[in-house]
Amino acid sequence: MKEKLHLGCGKTILKEWINLDIMKGQGVDIVADLEMCSEIPLPFEDNSIDEFYASHLIEYIHFTLPLMQELHRIAKNDSKAVFRLQYGLSDDAYVMRPYFIDSFACFSQPYYWRADYGYKGDWKTEKISLFVSQAVYKKKSFHEIYEDVMRKRNVVSEMVVELRAIKPIRATKKELQTRPFIEFLMV
């Protein structure tokens, strides 16, 4: 059976998932503070989790590198991680840490080709889905939408990022960097 970890579940309990939150609650399986991953490991064996899911969580985490390194430790090779969050140019994103199309690259080893900060995780960003208004963008080209996303505020209502755990970690070489597939979904 696949082991799937729902991070920061709150009151949204997913069946057939291990539901983890910072507070005890009905349906919460594991209580852990994801801000403390550099000091307190998550209570899972190395290479034990097949899939991760977090909805509107990562943008609230201050210490993301220790979190992503710890998730990498417990991830099986090729494990999938899905993060739903606000896009950085949304007014809603400014009450937390803003994330953009290229923000998740810092969770990969090739990103550190210039300097070593001691981060030992390696997540490849495979796909980024950006939700935009159908009423505004239905007849626009990919390029037109992309230009607005990069230049205007409040174009993207939500972003979903899909990553894969790479084990063993790749070398810290710029030429190993990859670009994710980007898609626009109409809502």
CATH number, domain containing residue 148? 3.40.50
* Confidence check: pLDDT of 93 > 80: no
pLDDT on residue 106: 96
Q: Which two tokens stand for residue 68?
A: 């992503």
Instruction: Determine contact, residues 3/17, Cβ cutoff 8 Å.
Output: no
* Confidence check: pLDDT of 94 > 70: no
- Residue 148, strand partner residues: none
Expressed as residue numbers, the domain containing 91 is 4-186
pLDDT category at 132 given cuts 50, 70, 90 is very high
pTM: 0.95
Buried b (16+ CB within 10 A) or exposed e, 157-167: ebbbbbbbbbb
* Confidence check: pLDDT of 95 > 90: no
The average confidence (pLDDT) of the chain is: 96
pLDDT category at 56 given cuts 50, 70, 90 is very high
- Strands of the sheet containing 18-21, edge to edge, are 30-31, 18-21, 4-7, 49-55, 75-85, 156-165, 123-132, 181-186
Residue (of 33, 58, 171, 14) closest to 108 by Cα position: 171
Q: Tell me, what amino acid is at 108?
A: S
pLDDT on residue 92: 77
pLDDT on residue 83: 98
Residue 18 CA to residue 7 CA, distance in Å, equals 8
Task: Tell me the chain's radius of gyration from C-alpha atoms.
Answer: 17
Residue 99 CA to residue 133 CA, distance in Å, equals 19
Tell me what the mean pLDDT of segment 38-48 comes to: 98
Q: Tell me, what amino acid is at 174?
A: K
Q: Look at the chain and report how many structural domains it folds into.
A: 1
Tell me what the mean pLDDT of segment 178-185 comes to: 98
* Confidence check: pLDDT of 98 > 80: yes
Q: Tokens 């852990």 label which residue?
A: 32
